[in-house]
Amino acid sequence: MTKKAETAGSSTGKIARSAGAVSIAVMCSRVLGLVREQVFAGLFGAGYAYDAFVVAFRIPNLLRDLFGEGTLSAAFVTVFSDYDTNKGTEATWKLASNVLVFMAILLSTITLLGMFFAEPVVHLLAPDFDAVTGKTALTVWLTRIMFPFLIFVSLAAVVMGMLNTKGKFFVPAVSSAFFNLGSIIGGTSLALLLPKFGIPAIVGMAWGTLIGGLFQLSIQLPILWKTGFRFKPQLSLRDPGLKRILWLMLPATIGLSATQINIFVNTNFASGCMEGSVSWLNYAFRLVQLPIGIFGVAFSVAAMPVLARHAAKQDLAGLRKIFASSLVMVFSLTIPATVGLILLSQPIIRLIFEHGAFTAADTLRTAQALTCYAYGLFAYSAVKIMVPVFYALNDTKYPVIASFIAVAANIIFITLTIDVFSFRAIALSTSCSMGLNFLFLGTVLYRKLTGFSLYYLGQGVLKILLASMVMGLGVIGLQQVFAPLLIGGIPLQLVGVFTVIGGAALLYGIVLHYLRLPEFDEVTGKIRKRLGR
């Protein structure tokens, strides 16, 4: 084996190891996120109050994805890795301080503008809320409360990028769990307290969002201090590193966030469907975000610094190998997850949400939305891997083009099908548009990287599909065997759902192991090693 191949192989192993740590952290976060959604479902169900909260939170959350977990994070890691590799520690920390000050000023300005213009933005996003007395006013109120969340979570993303570049993955990834923890504890406490003063309970959940955002930032600061960073307030708009970050961010603000832009568009359509549609779609998307976060985001976070270093060294061969291997890793986890979500949508939603104000009818409609979202799961996660490659290559125009194609396709598809499929058209269109995004970016990357092994990729996907088909048949059989448990009380449902999921995962793992997929063995080996510590 050549030295270059060994380097690429060790990089793949490093990504798998780091992704294992991130996956565990993200799993904690997503589970707490589902607990948070359970609180909402139990207290508010699907309708007036929660519809208003979803739209209100979506406005700063969209900007969070653009500035925090989207363009800022990817652009910062690319430049920060280059500085760390080629310019030394002092220049790297100086850049970090400058970026923190600049982003704090920029985000504070955006937040003030957002709070001031909250009412027209809500009217733009959800015009049909005006048909329900007080719904628009409540949404505006909640939007103004939650807008400062943008500052906390975006600065947390900068800190996360700094720590990732230094090889610290677990704490930054688990920080979002503290967001959910703060939201649950702070929000629920205030939701129970504020009605005694004549303030709607949902307002308490909005304040809980701010508490959670502050927690997400604060939990990362001690480990950042341990890496040697010392914050020195300074603002230099002429800093070439800052200019480079902004240059990478500017064209990619749309390109890296096609999913969120489509969600923004979808909210407008959903607000015109039957009441509860916004809530059903949101609950369903929260569930599909679990595998996206565990697999797509985890591998994206772990791969980004490695990709950036290979690009900085002009190692195109290593870059090709890492990209193809990472893609197979993601497919090996997201394709079976898609099968599982489609076949088990109702039992999972019944177990998690059907309590308190959340009814059996809400379960059925949320399951329909989840099934439609699940079709695009592989594409969601694959794009999370693809876009950082463009950043590593300092070429962000193609993600921009892909996003325009995806957004246009999304609007056309919904317009043509919403009268027939209602809210389901929105979820299905999101999956289709993301699939189109995936195909476009994959084609462009094949040319930019002067080819990567399609045979290797196709062989891996074929093995994954075969194992997933066997697993799907196993799920159908297990559902029939454990049917009484799946419709019983909560303890019985818990046993039934986890037994079916566990049996299906075991069957899938056995089949894929015998089919000899190296990436899957690499991932499971690293996760087992991590859990065994």
Tell the residue number behind the tokens 């690429």, with chain if given: 8
Distance, in Å, from the CA atom of 331 to the CA atom of 326, rounded to the nearest integer, reads 9
User: Which phi and psi (to 5°) does residue 396 adopt?
Assistant: -110, 5
DSSP for 48-89, written as a single string: HHHHHHHHHHHHHHHHHHHHTTTHHHHHHHHHHHHHHHHT-H
Any domain includes 125:
yes
Distance, in Å, from the CA atom of 406 to the CA atom of 414, rounded to the nearest integer, reads 12
- Is residue 153 within 8 A of residue 68, CB to CB? The reply is yes
**What are the helix (H) ranges across 117-200?**
118-125, 135-146, 149-165, 170-193
At position 265, the amino acid (one-letter code) is: V
Distance, in Å, from the CA atom of 164 to the CA atom of 146, rounded to the nearest integer, reads 27
Residue whose C-alpha is closest to residue 139's, from 126, 151, 150: 126
Residue whose C-alpha is closest to residue 496's, from 478, 477, 509: 478
Distance, in Å, from the CA atom of 423 to the CA atom of 16, rounded to the nearest integer, reads 37
The domain containing residue 100 runs over which residues? Answer: 45-256
Distance, in Å, from the CA atom of 140 to the CA atom of 122, rounded to the nearest integer, reads 6
The pair of structure tokens assigned to 449 is 């990287």
The per-residue pLDDT for 8 is 46
The per-residue pLDDT for 469 is 96
Half-sphere exposure of 274 (CA within 13 A, CB side): 9
Q: What is the pLDDT along the chain (533 residues), one digit of tens a residue?
A: 444 444 444 555 555 555 556 667 666 777 787 788 888 888 887 777 888 898 898 888 777 766 655 566 667 777 877 787 778 778 888 888 888 899 889 889 999 999 999 999 898 888 888 888 888 999 999 999 999 998 998 888 888 878 877 777 777 777 888 888 888 999 999 999 999 999 999 999 999 999 999 999 999 999 888 888 888 888 888 888 888 888 877 665 655 555 566 667 787 788 778 878 888 888 898 888 777 766 655 565 556 566 666 666 666 677 777 777 778 888 888 899 999 999 999 999 998 888 877 888 999 999 999 999 999 988 888 887 787 778 777 777 788 788 788 888 989 999 999 988 899 999 999 899 889 989 999 888 888 877 666 778 888 899 999 999 999 999 999 999 999 888 888 889 989 999 999 999 899 989 988 888 877 766 666 656 655 55
Q: How many domains does the chain have?
A: 1
Any domain includes 19:
no
**Count of other CB atoms within 10 angstroms of residue 5:** 12
For residues 515, 330, 389, 255, the Cα torsion angle rounded to the nearest 10 degrees is: 140
Distance, in Å, from the CA atom of 31 to the CA atom of 82, rounded to the nearest integer, reads 35
The pair of structure tokens assigned to 221 is 């600061």
At position 73, the amino acid (one-letter code) is: S
Q: Is 515 helix (H, G, I), strand (E, B) or coil?
A: coil
Half-sphere exposure of 212 (CA within 13 A, CB side): 27
User: Which phi and psi (to 5°) does residue 219 adopt?
Assistant: -65, -20
Tell the residue number behind the tokens 């704490």, with chain if given: 171
Residue whose C-alpha is closest to residue 75's, from 171, 158, 15, 167: 158
Distance, in Å, from the CA atom of 270 to the CA atom of 361, rounded to the nearest integer, reads 18
Any domain includes 448:
no
Any domain includes 470:
no
pTM of the model: 0.67
The per-residue pLDDT for 208 is 92
Residue whose C-alpha is closest to residue 508's, from 477, 457, 463: 463
| Greatest Cα-to-Cα distance within the chain, rounded to the nearest angstrom | 72
The pair of structure tokens assigned to 396 is 């962000």
- Is residue 296 within 8 A of residue 30, CB to CB? The reply is no
Any domain includes 124:
yes
Distance, in Å, from the CA atom of 492 to the CA atom of 501, rounded to the nearest integer, reads 14
Any domain includes 11:
no
Distance from the first to the final alpha carbon of the chain: 31
The per-residue pLDDT for 204 is 93
Estimate to the nearest angstrom the gap between the alpha carbon of 54 and the chain centroid.
Answer: 16
Half-sphere exposure of 310 (CA within 13 A, CB side): 30
